[in-house]
Amino acid sequence: MSNVSLGQFLKQSTHLTENLSQLIETIANTCKTIDLALQKGALAGVLGSAEHENVQGETQKKLDVISNDLLVDALTQHSSVAAIASEELDDMTPAQQNGEFLVLFDPLDGSSNIDINMCVGTIFSILKASENTATTADFFQKGADQVAAGYVMYGPSTMLVFTTGQGVHMFTLDPEQHEFYLTVDGVKIPEQTQEFAINSSNQRHWEAPVKRYINELLEGTTGVRGKDFNMRWVACMVGDVHRILTRGGIFMYPYDSKDPQKAGRLRLMYEANPLGLIVEQAGGKISTGRQDILTIVPEGLHQRIPVILGAKAEVDRLVDYHQA
């Protein structure tokens, strides 16, 4: 095991300011508390529905609410945070008047997995705040403008993965020391892949380019790709992205006609942008199929978007099919 703790790593990263380092540590420490609540599960009475919906119209789990409250409390009290926005809340929440950063987060990605004891995660995105009192419009920055982005994956091992624009770093939580230690630095997505992730139950709603691409993968050695592919689907975007970072592959939640009023399923600012920055820093790519997601200027805090991300060659192939 590496003997470099998260705190030591951040201090050694000379391109980071003290305020940004402290903010990343605050998020990591809060996620340790979320991890403890998840580990206790039914013993602490935190499983099951909270019996009300969030702004997305989704039924919240008790741990959605607990995780959100923990992050809201920690971040609004942080001296460097001007305002926060959560996937679970309607509007942004002001914090410190002279704060330097804006923080967005999905407190518990994949929360439908909670009650079956499977992978869930926390996603965060950090932006620069303006010099004036924070407004909702200040959050509408391109994903490429993020100063940091990351996630914590709660699983057999609890892992913190983040980027500050100079590569991707993986840390593993030591449950005895209750500390994150560096386990992989300079993460790179393998260029060759035989895995893909997509919710195939929506196949009848897909556009023609996606159907073409998936059909080629399913044809295996007898098709144009000349090799067999395996489908993997975690139902937690953090888990699917983590697999791509470690084993390669492509993840797709593309546009479909199931609900023509929605451009996509995933949230641009809470999921696509932070995970997209990580993927690109690891040598991969993220796109809607028609546009580089990290170049999109958001129009709303809860904007949804189609997402295709992973190994660059695979994403480029599917983008080419959209443009054909």
Residue 240: its pLDDT value, please?
97
Summarised one tens digit per residue, pLDDT across range 156-206 is 999 999 999 999 999 999 999 999 999 999 999 999 999 999 999 999 999
Question: Which pLDDT score, from 0 to 100, does residue 54 have?
Answer: 54
Summarised one tens digit per residue, pLDDT across range 68-126 is 999 999 999 999 999 999 999 999 999 998 999 999 999 999 877 777 778 999 999 99
Give the pTM.
Answer: 0.94
Could you read off the pLDDT of 37-62 as tens digits, one per residue?
Answer: 888 765 555 555 544 555 555 555 68
Q: Is 111 annotated as a binding residue?
A: yes
Inter-residue contact 129 to 115 (CB < 8 Å):
no
Give the integer Cα–Cα distance in Å for 83 and 95.
Answer: 5
The third-level CATH classification (topology) of the domain covering 195-323 is D-Maltodextrin-Binding Protein; domain 2 (3.40.190)
> Any binding-site annotation on 2?
no
pLDDT in tens, 215-245: 999 999 999 999 999 999 998 999 999 999 9
Position 36 pLDDT exceeds 50? yes
Entry field: residues in the chain: 324
pLDDT at 61: 61
In the chain, domain spans: 6-185, 195-323
Same fold, 6-185 and 195-323: no
Annotated ligand binding at 145? The verdict is: no
Is 199 annotated to bind a ligand? Reply is yes
Q: Are 102 and 83 in contact (CB under 8 A)?
A: yes
What's the CATH number of domain 6-185, 1.10.940.10, 3.30.565.10, 3.30.540.10, 1.20.1250.20? 3.30.540.10
Q: Which amino acid is at 291?
A: Q
pLDDT score of 50: 46
CA distance linking residue 107 with residue 97, whole number of Å: 24
- The confidence score (pLDDT) of residue 299 equals 96
Is 109 part of any known ligand binding site? yes
